[in-house]
């Protein structure tokens, strides 16, 4: 072969052809620099043609991400101050007086929906979590303020007892003489109905139960309909996993469990088929939308659920997923914008119609620049 190459180099217009891995290639001696360069491969199918320019790539794009796909989780607290959240950089615990103005800004960015979470002082917590259905509580007041200022903003509210009870558990806790505990299902569902009705009366558009109790969708639908709130939607936390990635959120909310864990009601991260069973039950009980939480670590579950149901699917890009990108970017190891956009696009590609993310305001701003 070396002799052949030498012979070609000596002849300016020499030509040879040979087969390389079954493909016909040709080489031509170029006089200007005496370099041998490939001229043409006999390839009728060239996928790169569909990637040859920004305009062509846009034409071929299969998945899109817009501000209309985003839901922003927001924290509301008592008092007159707004407090930056150390565990969630870029996020704030808002006071009722200022949360409406922030929602106006979000709406102008194109974000159509926010999800409200209550930050409850310790002195207002009790074993039953009764502050959850206080009509003068921080969540009902925030709902009313937001709907008065930004009527078209969709207000979704979290329904669960962990921010409100002294145990940091999503349900009502029964203590036994031997020191053990049990999260009571049916008693919790009754309390959740009180909480949901409190929010609906204040003007909530969507109720989103995150507790993972059995039968709560049917009970919530019946309770809402019985009081005439037939237009209030239910977004069920259908597959909420007992994930290790919720830590920054629990720090923001002050809702970490005071004992044990949440594995008797949240799902085992090892299971995917179980999520489809939960989806079937939620759909049969009257859920309007289903959710998978977390998101990027459970793309397979999102995809399986997308293929299993025609209901809209939400995915929660949780605090740990968000903070990993923020922390790596702050250290200079990752491009925050590129990585955050890629993560959210992957969730959409897996089949999610909407994404709850703490990055929503920044992403909406980036999308507007684009």
Please identify every residue annotated as catalytic.
240, 293
Give the phi and the psi of residue 133 in degrees, each rounded to 5: -115, 25
What is the Cα–Cα distance from 236 to 291, expressed in whole angstroms? 6
The residue among 218, 212, 217 whose CA lies nearest residue 239 is 212
Residues 6+ away with beta carbon under 8 Å from 127: 165, 166, 167, 172, 173
Tell me the H-state helices in 203-330. Answer: 216-226, 247-253, 273-285, 299-308, 319-330
Among residues 187, 191, 38, 208, the alpha carbon closest in space to that of 113 is found at: 208
What does the block give as tokens for 272?
């995917």
Return the CA Rg of the chain: 27
How many other C-beta atoms can be found within 10 angstroms of the C-beta atom of residue 16?
Answer: 13
DSSP string, 169-183: -SSEEEE-TTS-EEE
Which of 262, 270, 247, 267 has the alpha carbon at shortest distance from 322?
247
């Amino acid at each position: 072969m070396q002799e052949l190459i030498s012979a070609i180099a000596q002849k300016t217009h020499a030509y040879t052809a040979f087969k390389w891995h079954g493909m016909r290639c040709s080489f031509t001696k170029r006089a200007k620099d005496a370099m041998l360069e490939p001229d043409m491969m006999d390839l009728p199918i060239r996928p790169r043609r569909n990637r040859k320019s920004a305009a062509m790539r846009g034409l071929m794009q299969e998945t899109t991400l817009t501000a209309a796909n985003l839901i922003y989780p927001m924290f509301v607290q008592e008092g007159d101050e707004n407090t930056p959240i150390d565990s969630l950089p870029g996020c704030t615990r808002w006071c009722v007086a200022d949360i409406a103005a922030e929602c106006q800004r979000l709406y102008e960015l194109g974000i159509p929906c926010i999800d409200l979470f209550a930050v409850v002082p310790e002195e207002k917590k009790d074993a039953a979590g009764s502050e959850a259905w206080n009509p003068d509580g921080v969540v009902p007041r925030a709902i009313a303020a937001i709907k008065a200022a930004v009527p078209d903003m969709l207000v979704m509210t979290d329904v669960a007892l962990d921010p409100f009870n002294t145990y940091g558990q999503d349900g009502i806790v029964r203590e036994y003489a031997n020191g053990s505990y049990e999260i009571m299902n049916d008693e919790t569902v009754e309390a959740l109905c009180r909480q949901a009705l409190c929010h609906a009366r204040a003007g909530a558009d969507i109720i989103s139960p995150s507790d993972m109790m059995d039968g709560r969708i049917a009970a919530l639908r019946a309770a809402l309909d019985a009081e005439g709130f037939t237009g209030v939607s239910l977004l069920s936390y259908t597959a909420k996993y007992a994930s290790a990635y919720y830590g920054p959120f629990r720090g923001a909310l002050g809702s970490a469990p005071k004992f044990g864990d949440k594995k008797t009601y949240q799902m085992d991260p090892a299971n995917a088929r179980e999520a489809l069973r939960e989806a079937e039950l939620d759909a049969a009980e009257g859920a309007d939308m289903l959710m998978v939480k977390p998101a990027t670590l459970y793309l397979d579950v999102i995809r399986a659920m997308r293929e299993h149901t025609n209901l809209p699917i939400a995915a929660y890009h949780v605090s740990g997923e968000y903070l990993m990108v923020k922390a790596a970017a702050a250290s200079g190891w990752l491009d925050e914008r590129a990585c955050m956009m890629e993560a959210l696009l992957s969730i959409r590609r897996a089949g999610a119609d909407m994404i709850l993310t703490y990055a929503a305001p920044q992403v909406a701003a980036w999308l507007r620049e684009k």
